[in-house]
Amino acid sequence: MWVRTFLRLALALAAGLSGTVLIVGPAVAAEPYPSAPTITSVTPGSAATELQVIYTAPAADGGSPITSYQASLDGGTNWYTCVGTAGVCPLGSLARGRTYSVVLRAVNASGAGEISKAGIGIPAASGSGSTDNPKVLPKPRVRVGATFNAASNDLGITSPTMRLGVGTLPRLRFSRDIPNKAMVERNLAVTATSQVGVVLGVHGAWGWLDDRTAVFRPRTWWPGNSTINITSTLDNSVLGRSGRTYLVGSTALARTYTFLTGNSVVIKVDGASYQMNVYIDGIKRKIFPVSLGTTGWETRNGVKVISVDKEPLHTYSSAALAITDPNDQYLLPDVPWNTRLTPTGEFMHSAPWAYWRIGKWNGSHGCTNMFEADAKWIFDNTAPGDVVIYSKTGGSTVQPWNGPGGLWNIPWSSWLKKSALHSATPDTATVTDAGTATPATSAGV
C-alpha cells in the first residue's frame, strides 16, 4: 500500500511542478500467470505408441482464461501444445515400451504458467483387466518370481545404499524362462529422480541375455546424483505359457527396485595424444598424461567400467601374460595404486619405471601407465560403475564378456535387437507440437 501512496505523491508533485493537475487512480494489478495443472494419470492410448495425459485444470486465480495446455517430455526444455478434449493431453508416435515422464503447464494471455509435478507412463503398458493383467487369471498356472541386482555387471557390490557410477547395469533374473518378454518390458517403468525431486523417464531398453535374464541399459549413461526407480507391475501378469501351464507373476513383483547414482564420472583416454581427461558431472576436472599398450599389446578401445577390484599394491609379471621370450620377461613387485578395468588384466596404475615415456609414447603391455600421484587420484576418487572410454589405441574393442563395461560396447542398434519391444519398434521418435512424431537422430554410445 505504501508503494502506491508514494507513487501517487510523486506523480502529484511532478504535476504540481509542471502546473498540471493529475488525477491518479488505483494501480492496475499485473495479469497473473496460470497456476500449475494437476496430472492425475498417464495411461497408454488406443495405439501402442500413444499416451493419454489426464489432468485437472488449475484453480481460478483471477487471471484471464486459459487458452491452451502444453506438455514436455524432458523436464521443461521443449514444450508441445496439447490437442484434444479438455482434461486430456494425447501424445502420439512415442517409442513403445519406453518410460516417459510428462509435465504440463497452462497458458493464458500473460503467457505460460507454473509447471506441474511429473506423471510417468509407458506406451503399450498394461493395467488391471488388460491382456497382460486379466481380472480372472487363467488355469492351470504357476507363479514366477524374480531377483534384482542393481550392479549386475560384475562391479563386486550389492548394497542398495551405496552410490554407484553412471555405467552400472541393473538386472532382473526370473525364476522360470519367460515366453512373453515384451509383456515384461511393458510392465517395468524406469525413472530417475534428481536430488531436488525432478522425475524423468530414462531413455533406454531392456536386453535379454537369456530366457530368464533381462538387463536395462540407458541410451547413454544414468543421470548422476539420482535415485533410480524400476517400478514393476508384473504381479498377476500373464508371462506366457509353458506347455499347458500359464506363467503368472508373483504378487511380490508389485514393487519398486531402487538404487542410487553418485557424481557422473566419465574418463576419456586418447591413445593418440597419450592423455586422460576426467569429466565430473560434465565438466573437465583433471588431465593426466598416460602411456598405453605398445605394438602387439595394444590397449583395447571402447567402454570399460570400474569395479571394487582395486589393490594398493600389485605385482605384475610376464608369466601372467604367458610371455616366454627371455628378452621380454619381467617381474614388477609391489606396484602402487592399481585400479582394474578388465578381468583379462588391464589396470590403470603407477609406473615409476616408465616416467620417461608417460605422456609421450605407448610402451606398456596393455595397462594404462601413470605417474604415481595421478594413479592414486584415480584409485581414491573413482567408484564402482564409473566409466572409462578408450579411443585411438590401435587395439580391438572390448568384448561384451570382458568385464563390467563389456555390454556397453554392443552397438545401440544391436542392443535393441535384444529387446522384445524395441526390436520391432525403431527407437527414433520424438513428439511435435501437434502431438505426433517426426524422426529424430541420436548419437551412439
How large is the greatest C-alpha to C-alpha distance in the chain, in angstroms? 108
Are 241 and 288 found together in one domain?
A: no
Whether the pLDDT of residue 116 is over 50: the answer is yes
Are 398 and 293 found together in one domain?
A: yes
The mean pLDDT value for 297-320 works out to 92
Are 91 and 209 found together in one domain?
A: no
- Are the C-beta atoms of 384 and 156 separated by less than 8 Å? yes
Three-state secondary structure call for residue 406: helix
The mean pLDDT value for 151-171 works out to 91
CATH of the domain at 388: 2.40.440.10
**How high is the mean pLDDT of the chain?**
86
- Are the C-beta atoms of 43 and 51 separated by less than 8 Å? yes
Are 225 and 281 found together in one domain?
A: no
Are 287 and 404 found together in one domain?
A: yes
**Which residues of 23-138 form beta strands (DSSP E)?**
38-44, 51-56, 68-72, 80-81, 88-91, 100-108, 111-112, 119-121
- Model pTM above 0.85: no
Whether the pLDDT of residue 441 is over 50: the answer is no
Q: Of 7-11, 366-370, 374-378, which range is least confident?
A: 7-11
Last residue of one domain, picked from the residues 57, 91, 121: 121
| % of residues, the chain, pLDDT over 70 | 85
User: Looking at per-residue confidence, does 27 or 347 come out higher?
Assistant: 347
Are 222 and 248 found together in one domain?
A: yes
Whether the pLDDT of residue 98 is over 50: the answer is yes
442 domain residue, yes or no: no
User: Looking at per-residue confidence, does 76 or 147 come out higher?
Assistant: 147
Q: Of 114-118, 200-204, 219-223, 302-306, which range is least confident?
A: 200-204
**What's residue 445's pLDDT?**
22
Q: Of 186-200, 294-308, 310-324, 405-419, which range is least confident?
A: 310-324
Number of domains the chain contains: 4
Distances (CA, A) of 26 to 9, 21, 62, 119, 160: 13, 17, 17, 42, 60
Are 147 and 44 found together in one domain?
A: no
278 domain residue, yes or no: yes
CATH of the domain at 162: 2.60.40.3710
Last residue of one domain, picked from the residues 73, 91, 121: 121
> pLDDT tens across 34-55, in order?
999 999 999 888 777 789 999 9
Three-state secondary structure call for residue 155: coil
372 domain residue, yes or no: yes
Are 269 and 371 found together in one domain?
A: yes
Distances (CA, A) of 316 to 70, 319, 333, 334, 351: 61, 9, 6, 8, 11
424 domain residue, yes or no: no
Are 1 and 88 found together in one domain?
A: no
- Write the DSSP string, 168-187: ---EEEESS--S-HHHHHHT
Q: Of 19-28, 121-130, 165-174, which range is least confident?
A: 19-28
d(Cα 301, Cα 291) in Å, to the nearest integer?
14
Domain of residue 243 covers 141-259
Cell output for 30: 499485473
Are 396 and 284 found together in one domain?
A: yes
439 domain residue, yes or no: no
440 domain residue, yes or no: no
Are 44 and 86 found together in one domain?
A: yes
381 domain residue, yes or no: yes
**What's residue 330's pLDDT?**
77
Whether the pLDDT of residue 57 is over 90: the answer is yes
128 domain residue, yes or no: no
